[in-house]
Structure 1
Amino acid sequence: MNVTRAIGANARVEGFCDPAFQPVLDAFLNNFEVHGEVGASVCIHVGDRIAVDLWGGHCDRDRQKPWDRDTVSVVFSCTKAATALCAQLLVDRGALDLDAKVSRYWPEFAQAGKEDATVLMMLNHSAGVPALREPLKQGAFYDWDYMTGRLAEEEPFWRPGTKSGYHMTSFGWTVGELVRRVSGKSLGAFFRDEFAVPLGLDFQIGLPATTTKQIAPIILYKPGPDTQLTEFIMALVGAPTSISHLSYMNNGGHDPNSGLAHAAEIGGAGGIANARALADMYRPLAGSGSVLSQERIDDMSRVSTETDRDETLLIPTRFGQGFMLSMDNSSLPPGSSVIIGRHAFGHVGMGGSIGFADRDRGLAFGYTMNKLGGGILLNERGQALVDAAYGCMG
């Protein structure tokens, strides 16, 4: 059924929702009415059909511009899945070997204790370079060669392969540089040519300067007086030499709303997309055809690293080869979990966006928004949509 639903005096939710997925529409509306959603989109494919394609609210903080069908926003770490797919395609083609040392493709990386780091370690967050110790120059995130050079020189925080710690933004340059070295194309160009164009994705890693897209500015999260602080947040604020602090705060003045950030190829946190693009990216991985072999999908979605205490996030985490797996940390403060299907794989983005594939259900899911939520992983808005989708499928 086509949807046009008012959510306040000058905003509405529009799109399509299969009647069987009415609970997803209800949860989407509830996010605006109860949880302070400003602008957002959600899209769900089940097999070969679209079950949900909704958008609504406003794309600006002042709530003057409507979020329309094609509005996009920065999806932060959801970009890691796109970066990982580029590497996985090269693995599938035999051009990149998961068990090979990184030095085979990127000789400069083999220094300061990283000589034995492998391609697999780069993908599963065990390579030991989740952050950089010394301050980054202003605008560092927008300078690919500077960031890859600094990471090549960095001494690892642990011997590669012996621990797991979320490579928050560094993932985009470590894995992305492998893609660049092997393919001969920049990460953004390779993703565009091999995934975005063939699949018709409105998803860019590095936005062209000539774009006329409506990009919804990110609205930062502000904790309230009753917010439960996670151990990660306490380290972020109070432990300036910790991995948690350095991985997030040592960023060279990065502003995700700036034109420089939009144009840069920030493969760990800078992709620009909407929910439809995320769901369409995962659709071939959920069983509706594929740009990757089934053998590769099977391998990359298995548990590759699992720990009771992630060196960066300081919570239990589970990763495949570049993808997050279900992490039920319900006993910890809100925002510490991402609860998806047992064999599902995907990635969350800072503030609560998410895209994933669940081959058991033939489900491809995407959710994006402009107002960030609290926590490290999913907050109540994204998880409510995920729960509603699974509930509709029994």
Structure 2
Amino acid sequence: MTTDITRPVGHPETGAGAVQGFVAPGFEAVSRQLAHIVAGDDGYSAQFCAYTDGKKVIDIWGGPDAEEDSIQGVFSATKGVAAVCVALLLQRELLLLDKPMSHYWPEFAQGGKASVTVRTALSHRAGVPGIEPQITQDQLMDHEYMAARLAAQTPHWYPGAAHGYHGLTIGTLMDELVRRVDGRTVDRFFREEIGDPRGIDVFIATPEDQEPRVRDVLPQRPTPEQAAAMKGSPLRQDGDTLSGMAFNKAVTDPLAELMPNVRRYRAAGQSSAGGVGSARGLARLYASCISEVDGMSRLLSPETVATVSQIHAAGPDMVLGLPTRFGIVFQKPDPDRLRWGSHTSFGHDGAGGAIGVADPWHSLAYGYVPRRMSVPGGADERGMDLARTLRQCLAEQRA
């Protein structure tokens, strides 16, 4: 882990071992900021890792529940991992964005979807963010069942007329496309083509031998004010609404255990939200997309990056009830919510607060994984603040 550009860091003023790891000279402000966050919240722990120009410059962890080598559920940050697989198939011209989905998956033509293109489906515009009747968690983990139900579903809006976060179904869309054009499941494709050869500490389906490293995601700890504010969120609505339907509120037990904390869910390879990993793994994955890393050529060409990171959908989100921006699967930054990098950046956050981002404009990539679920959910403000400090340090280095 150590190299000639890194050195150990520690901040004893926040308690022995509160922040540990390595940081390159000139980036100490990031570790100081993490130490400050840890000192101000005894329930906070996190990992943060970053690369610039393909070289690891920060690899730190802090807080009472943070560990160097632990991995945990990253929820929808899994989508970005699977999206890299899709991007690689696009780069190899095995998948074409403007072909109908039914060209690769004939059954998808049902329900008036014959003309829906891969581009439309993978930019959250296909109108199938959920399935009716709604599905259980066990059904969500059954890919064959999900693919059949999704293929038969009539869109909830005219495809292309609007966009809305396909929070659970886009994983099925990606996995089925990978299976149809490559023959492997998306989790196997990732491990064999990307994860294992490049030493990336992220798993769409967690192997049994990695289970000893897995730590449970800790539940949210909102203040009374935060809890009251969250009650109005579209994601808290019942199953009668479009948002509620998309997240199966009519059949989901709100007291059920968090899915990434359940072994059979981690093993299922559900590429919308079932992945497990570390900040180190997310950072290395996104760095590999835009840079040479450790002598290995960059994974995606500049042309492929430009294609998948181009904004395809922007504006009011039919599911989330707030403005969102998407490329091909990947989220794009916006000034109000995802302030995680330059306009060229792309990545994905998760409900627990995890973030994985590549920023070609600054030639940097980073991963952030908090141990406890963030409030209200999605990209954790503290992770985005660490990334902002990272960019400031980089600007000073290059001035």
Q: Given the two structures, how large is their TM-score scaled by the length of structure 2?
A: 0.89
Which SS does the other structure have where 2:273 is aligned? coil
Give the letter for the 1:53 counterpart.
D
Mark the CA change 1:375 to 1:252 in structure 2 (over 3 Å): closer, same or farther. Answer: closer
Shift of 1:356: 0.8
Give the letter for the 2:19 counterpart.
V
Give the distance between the partners of 1:236 and 1:96, measured in 2 at CA.
33
Shift of 1:168: 0.8
Q: Say whether residues 1:324 and 2:331 are aligned partners.
A: yes
In angstroms, what is the RMSD of aligned CA positions? 2.2
Shift of 1:351: 2.5
User: Which deviates the most, 217-226 or 274-283?
Assistant: 217-226
Give the distance between the partners of 1:353 and 1:138, measured in 2 at CA.
22
Give the distance between the partners of 2:117 and 2:301, measured in 1 at CA.
22
Give the distance between the partners of 2:283 and 2:239, measured in 1 at CA.
37
User: Which deviates the most, 338-347 or 170-179?
Assistant: 338-347
Determine the structure 2 residue equivalent to 1:42: 48
Give the letter for the 1:141 counterpart.
L
Render the CA deviation track for 1:244-298: whole Å, top value 9, x for unaligned. Answer: 2222344756622011111111101111110111111011223334222221111
Give the distance between the partners of 1:278 and 1:119, measured in 2 at CA.
25
1:283 to 287, 307, 314: 287
Q: Say whether residues 1:303 and 2:311 are aligned partners.
A: yes
Matches of residues 25-174 of structure 1 in structure 2 within 5 Å? 25-59=31-65, 67-174=66-173
Give the distance between the partners of 2:203 and 2:88, measured in 1 at CA.
18
Give the distance between the partners of 1:96 and 1:274, measured in 2 at CA.
29
Contact 1:129–1:156 (Cα < 8 Å) also in 2: yes
Determine the structure 2 residue equivalent to 1:268: 272
Mark the CA change 1:283 to 1:69 in structure 2 (over 3 Å): closer, same or farther. Answer: same
Give the letter for the 1:266 counterpart.
Q
More helix by share: 2
Give the letter for the 1:297 counterpart.
V
Determine the structure 1 residue equivalent to 2:319: 312
Q: Aligned pairs, how many?
A: 380
User: Which deviates the most, 98-107 or 228-237?
Assistant: 228-237
Mark the CA change 1:372 to 1:390 in structure 2 (over 3 Å): closer, same or farther. Answer: same
Shift of 1:205: 0.8
Mark the CA change 1:216 to 1:233 in structure 2 (over 3 Å): closer, same or farther. Answer: farther
Which SS does the other structure have where 1:162 is aligned? coil
Determine the structure 2 residue equivalent to 1:333: none
Which SS does the other structure have where 2:375 is aligned? coil
Contact 1:7–1:32 (Cα < 8 Å) also in 2: no
User: Which deviates the most, 41-50 or 374-383?
Assistant: 374-383
User: Which deviates the most, 216-225 or 320-329?
Assistant: 216-225
Give the letter for the 1:148 counterpart.
A
What 5-or-longer segments of structure 2 have no aligned partner? 1-6
Give the letter for the 2:261 counterpart.
N
Determine the structure 2 residue equivalent to 1:62: none
Render the CA deviation track for 1:33-59: whole Å, top value 9, x for unaligned. Answer: 224553321001111322100123344
User: Which deviates the most, 139-148 or 206-215?
Assistant: 206-215
Identity %: 32
Give the distance between the partners of 1:165 and 1:241, measured in 2 at CA.
16
What 5-or-longer segments of structure 1 have no aligned partner? 60-66, 330-335
Give the distance between the partners of 1:92 and 1:72, measured in 2 at CA.
30
Which SS does the other structure have where 2:89 is aligned? helix
Mark the CA change 1:259 to 1:58 in structure 2 (over 3 Å): closer, same or farther. Answer: farther
Determine the structure 2 residue equivalent to 1:387: 388
Give the distance between the partners of 1:231 and 1:312, measured in 2 at CA.
16
Render the CA deviation track for 1:343-379: whole Å, top value 9, x for unaligned. Answer: 1111111122111111111101110122011235423
Give the distance between the partners of 1:11 and 1:168, measured in 2 at CA.
37
Give the distance between the partners of 2:139 and 2:126, measured in 1 at CA.
21
Q: Given the two structures, how large is their TM-score scaled by the length of structure 1?
A: 0.90
